[in-house]
Amino acid sequence: MNTSSSTGRTAKALRSAALAVLLTAGALTAAPGARAEPARTETPVASTSGVTGVTETAVRLKAPLPVSFGARPAACDWLSYLRYRSADGPAAPADADRVLVAQPGILEGAGAFDSVARNTVARAAEQGLHIEFWALDRRSNCLEDHTGVDSGDQHAAVDYYYRGRQVGGRAFAGFVGNERLGWMARLGVEQTVRDQYTLLTAELPDQRVRERKVLCGGHSLGGVVTGYFATADFDGDRTTTADAGYRQCAGYFALDTTVSTSLGDLSGSIPDDTNLPDVGLGYGVVQAGLDSGLLPRSLSAPVLLNPGTMTLLAIAGIGATRDPDGEADLPSYLPSGLNIEATNRFLFSRDAAAFVTGTPAVKDFRLTNAAVLGALMDDNSVPLAFLQSSVGFFDGGPVVDKSFPVANGGTPQPGLFGTAYKAIPDRPHGPLYTWRDYDRVGDPDDPGRRSADGTPFTDAGKEVTALGELARSLAEQPLDFTEQYFPTKLVTDLEMAGSPQVKRLVAHPEGLTAKPVLTVLAGDGLLAGRIPADLHPLVADGYQHLDVLTAAPVQNNGRPEPVSTALTAFARDPR
């Protein structure tokens, strides 16, 4: 046994666990009783998407957790997913030509798949193929309260989540603290793949139909979850294979990830620098820490990556959806506090001095609602690669290089920060900064902004996502785009893949290669520069990590969006 390697893996798992911090205490109900209620609900979802001919519904299935998980909100005994299908196609999923089932990435909810799901279903329908796309939500998303965002009003949403004011007679119970997340201590990879199996067998009871029609896949961390699903055994008897994960799928698809049982291809996508010593503790000690609450049960951080700030993305989406060209007051309307202030400084500081002093602050600039969302999500602005999409560029005033937290033009940053040059508005209290959408970059009136070293910040070939569609997915979906409560155990399980407790979950290793695989990678995404050629991937040029989910149906070169085009071709013939 390699002790130093084992120690390093354990420490990394602990570092991932320790990223979660105690949040504000929230309400918790007891485990549900025996009250009669429907075992399945399906609710139509209204959408303003420009992609027509697609029907969306939100599906919930009753699937109680084992008693051993302990007390939890009643909503957490349900599984949820967004179901997209052709409006002209069959109503029963078993009658569809193909069903694509997608696992979300880290800190990601089902709503993030909205654009790629619609584009794929519509593209297939144009070719006479009626497919369905199921965007899965992790069970822990049951803790999210959408009331404020669903109001459709930024001020009402801010008041609801941060000032204790009611919306429609309802008061926010608060973001849920670690002491209320005991049931999540065991919500790891085993339960996650079990949930997918439960959902598939309930919705498509005939195993022969599943193996013939279902394509299993995911985005980012969802590719690794798919790998564990493919190798899992669900009846406890490895000699029988009808229940094996790979026997539920006709093929696999990976979106800026790989279908595997290793986090190696996603290195750098999960912040883990928490300065914990390499103490060499084992899987059992980590689990005991989660059970006791000494280790946080939800992956989070003191600023930026926590429920209080992740909610701001959806609130910014409201403004960019309702009044994209209107001057934003969201930065100044937000309440003061360490979490929001530090987050704003991290995202919108020109350099280290601005981060330390808080001057100039984001509220010192005049920005449209579209520019606010662009600043939060665009690859030429936000420093964290797993939050980046390519939605256009600042307009309306001069910009300068953004050198915090890393400078432009240096050694390319792996994974965490991405490689795109960053820019920031340069005139506080000056002109109204607007947003140039993806399909207007490179137009004759585009000033073509450049970095101080002469490098263009962007060009038409690197802009692929419509900001309005991204805003709609953030603000309109009944299941969130972002994930407020990500189970720490899911990451620690995957980080400790070599432990006996996790290795036993790979009951059918042959499952990884038993079916055809489609690998689609973002050209500028997490695997940029280290694309595994042996997988024969389709590379979407200019795409960032999120663009594989959010890209517009028609690209700047006039061609159909390549990710949904590839998924459609794979659905037609997975061989």
Question: What percent of the chain clears pLDDT 90, i.e. is strictly above it?
Answer: 82
| Number of other CB atoms surrounding residue 346 within 10 Å | 17
What's the rounded mean pLDDT across residues 425-444? 97
**321, two tokens:** 């959806």
Does the structure show a pLDDT above 60 at 279?
Answer: no
Residues 6+ apart with CB under 8 A from 220: 104, 105, 106, 108, 255, 256, 257, 266, 269, 386, 526, 545
Going by pLDDT thresholds of 50, 70 and 90, the confidence category of residue 303 is: confident
Span 239-270, pLDDT tens digits: 999 999 999 999 999 999 999 998 877 755 55
Distance CA 217, CA 102 (A): 5
Phi, psi at residue 339, to the nearest 5°? -60, -55
The angle, 0 to 180 degrees and rounded to 10, between the axes of the packed helices 467-476 and 369-377 is 90
| Number of other CB atoms surrounding residue 390 within 10 Å | 27
pLDDT attached to residue 515:
97
Distances (CA, A) of 34 to 13, 202, 395, 404, 442: 38, 21, 58, 54, 61
What's the rounded mean pLDDT across residues 366-381? 97
The residue that leads in pLDDT, 124 or 529, is: 124
Q: In what order do the strands lie in the sheet with 432-437?
A: 366-367, 432-437, 392-395
Mean pLDDT over all residues of the chain?
A: 90
Span 1-33, pLDDT tens digits: 343 444 444 444 443 443 332 222 222 333 344
Burial status of residue 235 (CB atoms within 10 A of its CB: 0-12, 13-18, 19 or more)? exposed
- Bridge partners (DSSP) listed for residue 54: 86
Span 151-210, pLDDT tens digits: 999 999 999 999 999 999 999 999 999 999 999 999 999 999 999 999 999 999 999 999
Span 314-341, pLDDT tens digits: 999 999 999 999 999 999 999 988 889 9
Distance CA 151, CA 148 (A): 5
Class of domain 3-143+176-297+488-572: alpha beta
pLDDT attached to residue 267:
58
Does the structure show a pLDDT above 90 at 92?
Answer: yes
pTM, entire model? 0.91
The residue among 302, 310, 286 whose CA lies nearest residue 490 is 286
Residue with tokens 């959902």: 199
pLDDT attached to residue 535:
85
Domain map (residue ranges) of the chain: 3-143+176-297+488-572, 307-475
Distance CA 32, CA 93 (A): 29
What's the rounded mean pLDDT across residues 506-513? 97
Question: What percent of the chain clears pLDDT 70, i.e. is strictly above it?
Answer: 90
SS3 content of the chain, % helix, strand, coil (to 5): 40, 15, 45
Residues 6+ apart with CB under 8 A from 149: 157, 311, 314, 315, 318, 475
268: left (phi over 0), alpha (psi -120 to 50) or beta: left
